[in-house]
Amino acid sequence: RKEVEQDPGPFNVPEGATVAFNCTYSNSASQSFFWYRQDCRKEPKLLMSVYSSGNEDGRFTAQLNRASQYISLLIRDSKLSDSATYLCVVNRGFNKFYFGSGTKLNVKP
Amino acid sequence: NAGVTQTPKFQVLKTGQSMTLQCAQDMNHEYMSWYRQDPGMGLRLIHYSVGAGITDQGEVPNGYNVSRSTTEDFPLRLLSAAPSQTSVYFCASSYEASGSYEQYFGPGTRLTVT
């Protein structure tokens, strides 16, 4: 079983739409959680950390459910520039990060 | 700050050749890692280091060696290249902040083994 599972998509949405991505992780010892964004043929970049209480950064909201081992990312008012692959990442301490295979988002005019 | 730099950007090797992928960071981060990214597989951890002189294996270490003689540099060596090692390789550095770890990635090396 994969450490981190995500729906690969693609999610095709119009500008202005709200879209949500989910991911599940298999190891309950996972300590910290992140969403990264990766543009085509570029390196991943940190979008936001995910906290148990939920957190928001502008149009982006992340939620963590430790009991269900489930992480979500909500994007409101989608922009063309949000088109990318979104990677769900968990950390099990020190330098051990586990990546999902990513969810592709296409925002269309 | 240059952040994390990787060289080369592209490389073509023949089966059996060896080479070293270079990675350097100027952020004084304690932790560094190497990943490979294959289509549909996400990033997989090859080797990582928690400080100069300390390295450990990740999920897919076979066929690769690393060393960390300085905080700044973390080269990845392919001992005898195989077509299965065709991939995009990313180096990352990270630091601990309030019990969490944030990673910064280099631009990647695209390797083709023929």
Q: With a cut of 80, say whether residue B98 has pLDDT above it.
A: no
What are the pLDDT digits (tens) for B19-41? 999 999 999 999 999 999 998 77
C-alpha to C-alpha distance for B47 and B64, rounded to whole angstroms: 8
B105 with A94: Cβ contact below 8 A:
no
B42 with A45: Cβ contact below 8 A:
no
Distance between A58 CA and the closest CA of chain B, angstroms = 20
Closest partner residue to A43 (CB to CB) among B42, B48, B107 is B107
What are the pLDDT digits (tens) for A21-35? 999 999 888 888 999
The mean predicted confidence, pLDDT, of chain B is 93
What pLDDT is attached to residue B73? 97
A99 with B104: Cβ contact below 8 A:
no
Is the CB of residue A37 less than 8 Å from the CB of residue A47? yes
A98 with B45: Cβ contact below 8 A:
yes
Q: With a cut of 80, say whether residue B97 has pLDDT above it.
A: no
Band of pLDDT at residue B66, cut at 50, 70 and 90? very high
Band of pLDDT at residue B42, cut at 50, 70 and 90? confident
3-state SS record for chain A: CCCEEECCCCEEEECCCCEEEEEEECCCCCCEEEEEEECCCCCCEEEEEECCCCEEECCEEEEEECCCCEEEEEECCCCHHHCEEEEEEEECCCCCEEECCCEEEEEEC
- Splitting chain A (109 residues) into consecutive groups of 10 residues, what average pLDDT does each group show? 90 97 91 93 92 91 94 97 96 84 96
What pLDDT is attached to residue B40? 77
Share of chain A above pLDDT 70, in %: 100
Contacts of A101 in chain B (CB under 8 A): 40-42
What pLDDT is attached to residue B46? 96
B35 with A4: Cβ contact below 8 A:
no
Closest partner residue to B105 (CB to CB) among A43, A91, A94 is A43
Share of chain B above pLDDT 70, in %: 99
Closest partner residue to A87 (CB to CB) among B42, B50, B107 is B42
Closest partner residue to A46 (CB to CB) among B33, B42, B102 is B102
Where residue A27 falls (left for φ over 0; alpha for ψ -120 to 50; beta otherwise) is beta
A99 with B42: Cβ contact below 8 A:
yes
